[in-house]
Amino acid sequence: MKVVRRVHTTQKNKSKIIKEFSRFAKEYDRHNIIQSEVAKQLVAHLCIKKYPAIIDIGCGSGEIYKNIQKNYIFFDHFIAVDLSKEMLEIHPSGNAVEKISTDFNAAEAYASFDTQAEALIISSSALQWSQDLDFTFSWISKKAKKAYFAIFTSSTFKTLHRAAKIHSPIYTEDQLKQSIDKYYNALYETHAYKLHFESVYEMLNYIKKSGVSGGEKKLTYKQVKNLIKNYPLDYLEFEVLFVDATSRYFA
């Protein structure tokens, strides 16, 4: 069964981030090496093996769903949430799978699926694009008691940002923790990853197609030229905050 339920979103909300994900949706699986590893590690954190519902926020092409299947974690209902319809189209379908196209930065998203204390909320490599962390975590924390998040931090591409003299468009580890702590009792782990490349040009191409930059920061031709000349590493750096969270709302 293929259900793509669409919750109304204005064109203004459909940011550059989503346009980039949609543009490269078909190629996403070839460029999501790190996100794929992150989703695998996040699912490995799940202790309970059966849930009435699993809600995957920013589900993309289904890395979480695939790992949940591989790890024999069972559910009655899987809700795959993503603003990009192109990503939802390539997410696995099934009788128990409901796909909802909606924006986790908008309140209407949280009316599009039921609150269920015993459900599991999971989100991998997506919430770094929250426009307002307090808004997002406050809503998410009211939908289910248990949540697992993996969120890229601003130390991702840190040497590249330094070399290009730009600020990371995403949150620091401290900013993430400060907001999450308001709504959850949380345990944290930070993991660093390296991805090696033959050239800086290949690195920039990877960044574009993997959606990690989200298209929010476009370098000028001059910045790209400088970067190719001055980037000191033959790898890209990534940093991800893993969160095992229990909502205070249900305490």
Ligand X SMILES: C[S@@+](CC[C@H](N)C(=O)[O-])C[C@H]1O[C@@H](n2cnc3c(N)ncnc32)[C@H](O)[C@@H]1O
**Close Cβ partners of 159 (under 8 Å, ≥ 6 residues apart):** 231, 232, 233, 237
Number of residues that bind ligand X (CB under 6 A): 23
Using CB under 6 A, pick the residue from 55, 58, 140, 179 that binds ligand X.
Answer: 58
Q: Check residue 227 for interaction with ligand X (CB under 6 A).
A: no
**Close Cβ partners of 2 (under 8 Å, ≥ 6 residues apart):** 93, 99
Binding piece for ligand X, criterion CB under 6 A, among 17-25, 44-52, 69-77, 112-120: 17-25
Structure tokens at 241: 């905050």
Distance of alpha carbon 117 from alpha carbon 138, whole angstroms? 15
For ligand X, the closer CB: 26 or 225: 26
Structure tokens at 224: 């790209």
Let me know if 24 is exposed, middle or buried by CB neighbors in 10 A (0-12, 13-18, 19+): buried
**Least Å from the CB of residue 146 to ligand X:** 18
Q: Check residue 215 for interaction with ligand X (CB under 6 A).
A: no
**Close Cβ partners of 66 (under 8 Å, ≥ 6 residues apart):** 39, 92
Q: Check residue 98 for interaction with ligand X (CB under 6 A).
A: no
Give the nearest residue (CB) to ligand X.
Answer: 60
Binding piece for ligand X, criterion CB under 6 A, among 56-64, 69-77, 194-202, 234-242: 56-64
- Please give the residue ranges that form the binding site for ligand X (CB under 6 A): 17-18, 21, 32, 35, 39, 58-60, 63-64, 82-84, 87, 103-105, 124-126, 129, 211
